[in-house]
Structure formats: structure tokens, C-alpha cells
Amino acid sequence: MPTFGSFALLLALALSGYTLVAGAIALRQLATGSRGRVSPERLAETARRAGIGSFVATTGAAFALVWAALNNDFSVAYILHHSNRALPGPYKFAALWSGQEGSLLLWAWLLSIYGFVLRLRHKVDVKLTAYASTILAGIQVFFLLLLNFAATPFSLASGPVAQDGFGLNPLLQYPEMVIHPPMLYLGYVGFAVPFAFALGALMMRYPGEKWIHITRRWTMVTWLFLTCGIFLGAHWAYSVLGWGGYWGWDPVENASLMPWLTGTAFLHSVMMQEKRGMMKSWNVWLIFSTFLLAIFGTLLTRSGLVSSVHAFAQSSIGTWFWTFLVIVLSVCLFTFILQRDHLKADNKIESLVSRESSFLFNNLVLLAACFTVLWGTLFPVLSEYIQGNKVTVSAPFYNRVAVPIGLFLLFLTGIGPLLAWRSSSFKSIRKNFVLPSIAGLVAAIVVIACGVHPWEIFTTSSQGSFYSFIAFTLAAVVITAIGAEFLRGAGVIARHTGQNLFASIIQLTRRNTRRYGGYIVHFGVVIIFIGIAGSAFNQSKEEELGFKQSVNIGPYRLECQSYSQDSNANYDTEYALLDVYRGGNKVTQLAPEKRFYTASQQPSTIVANHSTLAWDLYVIYAGKNPDTGQPIIKVFLNPLVAWIWIGVGIVVLGTGVALVPNMTAALAASRNRATALAPSAEAVAARGGD
Amino acid sequence: MFRFPRLGRLFAIAIVSALTMGSASTAVRYNDLGHKMMCVCGCNEILIECNHLGCPDSDRMLGELRASIAGGSGDDAILTAFQDKYGPTVLAAPMLTKFNIVAWIVPPAMLILGIAGTVVLVRRWRLRAAASPATPPAPHFPAMRERIRRETEL
């Protein structure tokens, strides 16, 4: 199998190389009108087919590595270092992305899948797809060069074949790790497609904005994957790392957030180009930046440039990534300079108080957030270069700098939809803002009455109360604004059709899925903000608990029923059984664990969590007191965490709605007629008519 | 002549004050200070959140923190003492000293500059549009209606 895998990788490289070279020659011939022995159309077609062939070859290589993992082929060095016999099957499959070489193979494989779909759908626009396919092939060649010459996944282990492997990192032995990395990679890799279309459209001076229509679904699906990947990672960190939080501002987390922020900015500003022919250069650079940041994030985690909890081992492939990054940036810059006159805007913003300017400010804030994350991630390197010593830039920095920017973004989320295109009159602003403002005021009073005291920022070192007060207030404003938008539109439909309000809301959404799907996404984001705001009120306690001893936190009492240890082929475990009481009634039993994995000789925390809509009771087995032999239990009460995951679900729903095509006006009208006719038919039946 | 430097200074002070607001409180000092430092075992975690089984450093460092607070030292003195002992990377965020202040100033300054630049740009566009002669009303109403529909669809 390793021989097959190596051959498949070489074949994939050859085919991708052909797609790149033949595609480039064909496009050059088409652009200049010159002709060789083979017509450019036929040459482009062979390039397309070679691209499809490279997908088959890359799939073969990925299959070979998974096969080797599932069959305990420890002659392959990668499998030896990332798997072992006792490892459960799904985690053996996850070994594909648990190390440097395997995850690069996953990159290449996912890219080949995207390329495969793109090349199959080439009839959407043959020439533009040929450009995009050639650019994708260029990216694919880079990853396949890496896999063939710098980070080979099928290298054989030296010496006799080992009986067992060193095992998978215990932190990765968690169900979410089977889906989190592929989701994240689908997001990272997926941005290569809109990037390729944007660069291709610029190279060929593509007329109009059709390339945006073609790539809209690609971009949204990619964005959705990245969103899910990021939040699955957050949930994994919350469930496995056992420090009570879900986001640690680690460089690897930051690496995933940066392209998400620029990608989000792109999804917003591209609407201005579609509708008003504005911000063309801006949009092109947004998608260029998003792809470059995805590559840069990969570089960050693999070059050893910054230290991180979950970065891959330092290796020489950083040089490869730097080179690739410089090449991509140079190509983008060169193409932009050459074709910049093609990106002249059709219109300009006419008023500061308009939907366009709200999009622009939204973009600015998203980019400021992205810059802040990039700045914080790279500042240690800059500091070492200038001051001669490294500094740490961690959560306290981001909490002070990035959180206010995030709240400003939340504010813009609320006011943007209330502004009209082109220009908003004072009257319309007043009309649209009254209700959300009242809701914000009421929320502020309620939040203060519930014990959130924003003025604590002046008396304590914590900004948590102040930020959460602002977040709750703005959340009320934004939710009211979104609700008002739905009700206004649905009210009109209800008046015209006689449908009830709920049916009208459904019809309204189906008539313009993009707009109302977007509002649902915004609603989900607000819910996520509410969940995050709860972290200002986290409580924690750490106590040693003997048999029948208990600890109180918030409304809960945790009583230790027993503590013991166990073992299986994969790990040894120590755990405690804790009965949880609330108001004297037993609510549940929790069993926090500490595992020690035999093959890798590494410990891991298994958190026990009792999650409700109000808060999570999050319990960690912190270890054993060596003097008494009793477990040390750390308990957290984390308010509103569940709302973060609910919010993500709403974001997924909203994106799904936005991806559905609009119901045409004609179909809507015919349905309305049918609805209007239905009661009369029933009435006929009731009268006993035929 | 000196108005702008003074304004600039006031602006810088305002930003630094906003970023460091409330840092003098001592209400939950142990928790706060524990969140302002990193564990030095190499785990890259906040000191008070480091939960590694048998971590060689966090318990000792937290013990030192408790002792320092009990000894009556101020927050800044404690942070400086830890920095002297473990190096600058022990602090979870750069202190407001020398070059490190750049870390705090640059992101909000970029945002403010971006917003100010956008406002200036949009005003200039508006003035230019106002100065250009008004175009006669379009005779093709269906085309205009289609455009309005398209532009207000979102």
C-alpha cells in the first residue's frame, strides 16, 4: 500500500502539472488568438480531464494512507507515529489528519475534490472555469510537490517493522476530532475556489459580475464549513482541554479566525458589487487576502514561527510555504496592476447614512478585527526582532482590544438593515430606529436589574460586566431590528393574501432567501454574542473531595459518591462519581475522568458537563492528592454557554436558507391563488356540492 | 502651533486609559493576577487555567503568587517580580512600557484611521457628485424600475 500511495501521489503531481501547463498554454492561445498544432479548445479540454484524473490519483493516495492506518501497517513511519493497534477504528481514520504529512494530504485531497466538482460543472462558463481550473491546478501542484518531496506521508520506518505504533495524541481521541479538522480544512481549502475565480476573472477581464454569481454558493458553503470548523474546534477545546473555556486566542485558533473574518467581509461587500457595481478592487483584494490568510494560517501552524499548544512540529516546510505565499502574492499584485482599469467602480457611495456605507463600515470593522488578531499573533515575533526579547500576547490583550471591536460589529449588524440604499432620510431613520432603541433601553434596565453592573469597570480590574452589559443591550437592539424586518415584510404579504403571519414569514423568506437567510445568520451571531457575554460571570471552585464530601457552586451541590480507577487496552483512567443536587433534589450524576494513554504515555482530561440553557456545570478531575489519595475536583459554573452552540445552529440554518434559490414571483402568486381558492372549495364540499 | 501635539497626547492618553481602565482594583487579585500570567511549563496556557497532570510549574507559581499577595505587594510589583524571575513571556499581555505600548495602540488607531479615511472619502465623492451637472430624468421607466428592484432586493 505505501508503494501504491507514493505512486498515486506522483501521478497526481504529473496530472496536476499537466493541467497547469496545458491549461495556461491554451488560455494564452485563446487570449492572443495564436494557434498551435492542437487547438486551444482541445488543449483546454485535455487539461480539464487531467485535472479530473489528478482527483482520482489524490483520492487513491488518501485511501492508501487510511488503509494503512486501518490495517496497522507500521512499516509506514506516519502510521507508526500516529496510530496503534488498540486505537478505535474512527480514530485510526482520523490519523489521516493528525500529523503534518497526513494533514497536507488531506489539504491536497480536499482541493482535488473542489477541483473535480468545478471541472465537472465547467459548462456554467467554459472559459472562466478553464482559468479557475488552471489556477487551482497551480495550487494543487504546490501541495503535491510538498507531499512528494518535503513531507512524504508514505516514508517507510527505519529498522524492523514495529509490533505496535506510538498511538494518537490523546487530545485528538475525541469524537469531534473526527469531524472538526475536515470541516476546518474544507473551509480553508474551499476559499481557493472563489480566489481562483476572482483571479481568473481579473486575468481575462471578465465582463460584468457573473463570476460573483457563479462563486456565491462556493463562497457561502466554504464560509459555512469554516464557521462549523471553528466552532467544532471551540467545542472540542471546551470538552477536552479542561480549562473551562472554549477560546484561548491561541495562534492556531487565530489562524482559523483571520480568513473567516475577511471571508465574512467579502460575503458582505460582494453584494455591493452585484447590486451597484461598487468596490470591485476592494472585493478582489478581500478574496485574495482570505486565501492568502488561509495559506498563512497553515504556515503559522507548521513553520514554528509562533509557539502554540496545537501547532505541528517545527519543520523545514515553512520555507516552502513562504515561497508559495510570495509567489501567490506576486501573481495577485501583478495581475491587479495590469488589469486595475477593469475594476473601475460604476457607482460611488452617495451618503454616509446609507446601506452601502453600513456595508463599508462593517467591512472596515471586520478587517480591523482581522488586523488585531494578526497583529497580536505576530507581535511576539516583531518584539523579538526589535527589542531582542519575545513577549506573550494572549487572552488579556484580545479581551481589551478585540472585544470592543466585536461589539462595534454587533452594533453595525443591528443598524445596517435599517438603512436604505443610496441614502436614508432622517424621517426613515427615526421611524426604523424607534422600536430597536426602545428594546435596547428596556434590555439595559432589565440587565441592570438582574445584577449586571457596567459601572464596575471603574471600580474593579474586570471589564466583563461592562462588555456583557453592552452585548446584552445591543443584542436586544439587533434582534428587534431583525424581527421588525421580518414582521414588516410578512405583514404586507399577510394583508395581500390573507395568510397567517407565520405562513407569510415563510413565504417572505422563500421569496428572497438570500436576504432573510442573511438575517437568520445575523440572529444566530447575536445569540452567539449572548452566549459569549455570559463568560463574564463564570465561577469556579477547586476542592479535594473524599467519600460523601461535597462542594457548593451557584445553586448546585456536588457530593462525591465514589472515586476509583480502571483500565483498558488503550488507556488507564481515574475518575470520581459525583451526585449533583439542586434545591435538595438529585439532578444528575457526573463522572469526570483523567486518562493516561498507554501507547503515547500521555494524560488527557475527560470533562463531565451538565449543560442547561442557563449555565453549564463543568467538572474536571484535576488529579489526586498524593498524601490523602482523594480526588481534587475543579468545578466551573459557566453561564449561557449552551447559547453559543444554539447560535451556531441558527447560523447554519440561515446559511442553508440563503443557499436555497428564491421562489419566483410567479410561483408565489400561483400559490397565493391556490390558497385563496382552497377555502371556497372546502365550502363547496361542506355544502355537499359535487 | 502646539494644538495638534497636545491633542495627540490627549488622544494617546485616552486610548491607553480606555484600554487599562480599572486595572488598579484589588477585589479579586489572586484570580485577576493569575489570569494576567502564563504558565511557564510550555503549555501556553494562562497560569490559573493550567491543568496539566503533574505540571512542574503552575502549582509553584500560584504558590508564589499567593505569597506575594499575602506579603502586601502591589499588582504591578508582583507582575514585575514575576517578569524579572521568569522573563517577559510570563506576562499574558505586554505591559505598557517602551515598545510594548505599540501593541496596544496600533489596532484601535488603525480602526479609527480607517473610519476617518472612509468618512473623508465618502464626503469627497458626495461633493464631487453634487458639483457635476444633474442628469436629465431617464425616459426608460421600466429599466429604472428594474434597477430599483435590483438595488433594493437585499
Could you report the per-residue pLDDT of A278-296, keeping only the tens digit for each? 888 889 999 999 999 999 9
A608-617 confidence digits (pLDDT tens): 999 999 999 9
What average pLDDT does this structure show over A495-513? 89
**Phi/psi at A255 (5° precision):** -60, -35
The per-residue pLDDT for range A197-213, each reduced to its tens digit, is 999 999 988 877 788 88
- pLDDT computed for residue B132 by the predictor: 63
- Find the mean pLDDT for residues A181-185: 90
Whether the per-residue pLDDT at B78 is higher than 50: the answer is yes
pLDDT digits (tens, 9 = 90+) for B3-55: 445 555 555 555 545 444 444 445 467 888 888 898 888 777 888 877 666 67
- Min CA distance, B6 vs chain A (Å)? 24
In this structure, how many other beta carbons lie within 10 angstroms of the beta carbon of residue B81? 14
Least-confidence region, from A294-298, A548-552, B125-129: B125-129
CA distance A255 to A180: 15
For residue A568, the model assigns a pLDDT of 83
What's the mean pLDDT in A637-648?
Answer: 94
Q: Which residues pair with A577 in a beta bridge?
A: A562
Residues near A641 by Cβ (< 8 Å), separated by ≥ 6? A238, A246, A531, A534, A535, A611, A615, A616
- Distance from the B117 Cα atom to the nearest Cα atom in chain A, whole angstroms: 11
Q: Which residue has the higher pLDDT, A23 or A310?
A: A23
Contacts of B101 in chain A (CB under 8 A): none
DSSP at B154: -
Inter-CA distances, A566 with A561, A569, A572, Å: 16, 11, 6
The C-alpha of A669 sits at a distance from chain B's nearest C-alpha, in angstroms, of 18
Q: Identify the band that residue A374 occupies on the pLDDT scale cut at 50, 70 and 90.
A: very high
Interhelix angle A192-203/A317-339, rounded to 10 degrees, is 40
Q: Is the pLDDT of residue A688 over 90?
A: no
Phi, psi for residue A185 in degrees, rounded to 5 = -70, -35
pLDDT at residue A520 in the model: 95
The residue assigned the cell 432573510 is A516
Report how far residue B50's alpha carbon sits from residue B60's, in angstroms, rounded to the nearest whole number.
12
| Site from A314, A394, A399 to mutate, B interface, most B CB atoms within 10 angstroms | A394
A461 touches chain B (CB under 8 A): yes
Q: Is A115 on the interface with B (CB under 8 A)?
A: no
* Chain B partners within 8 Å of A393 (Cβ): 93-94, 103
Per-residue pLDDT for A129 more than 60? yes
pLDDT band at A107 (very low <50, low <70, confident <90, very high): very high
Question: For chain A, what percent of residues have pLDDT higher than 90?
Answer: 43
Residues 58-117 of B with CB under 8 A from A: 75, 87-94, 98-100, 103-104, 106-108, 110-111, 114-115
Contacts of A678 (CB under 8 A, 6+ apart): none
Q: Using a CB-CB distance cutoff of 8 angstroms, which residues of chain B are in contact with residue A622?
A: 51
How close A548 gets to chain B, by Cα (Å)?
A: 24
Query: The C-alpha cell of A394 is what?
Result: 494572549
- Report d(CA A668, CA A661) in Å as an integer: 13
Kindly identify which residue of chain B lies nearest to residue A395, measuring between CA atoms: B92
Phi, psi of A453 (to 5 degrees): -115, 95
- φ/ψ (deg, to 5) at A646: -65, -45
- Facing A309 at nearest CB: one of B44, B100, B107: B44
DSSP codes, B96-141: SSGGGHHHHHHHHHHHHHHHHHHHHHHHHHHHHHHHSPPPPPPS-H
Average pLDDT over residues B118-129: 80
Closest CA to A358 of B36, B8, B122: B122
Q: With the C-alpha atoms ordered A196, A197, A199, A203, is the resulting torsion angle positive or negative?
A: positive
ipTM value for the complex? 0.78
Has residue A656 got a pLDDT over 90?
yes
The whole-angstrom separation of Cα B52 and Cα A605 is 9
pLDDT of the residue at B69: 86
A137: closest CA of chain B, how far (Å)? 35
Of A90-99, A260-269, A312-321, B126-135, the poorest mean pLDDT is in B126-135
More confident residue, A300 or A660: A660
| Whether pLDDT at A421 is above 90 | no
Mean pLDDT of chain A: 86
Q: Is B129 on the interface with A (CB under 8 A)?
A: yes
Q: Which of A243, A275, A351 has the CB atom closest to B150's CB atom?
A: A275
Task: Report angle CA A307, A312, A318 to the nearest 5 degrees.
Answer: 80
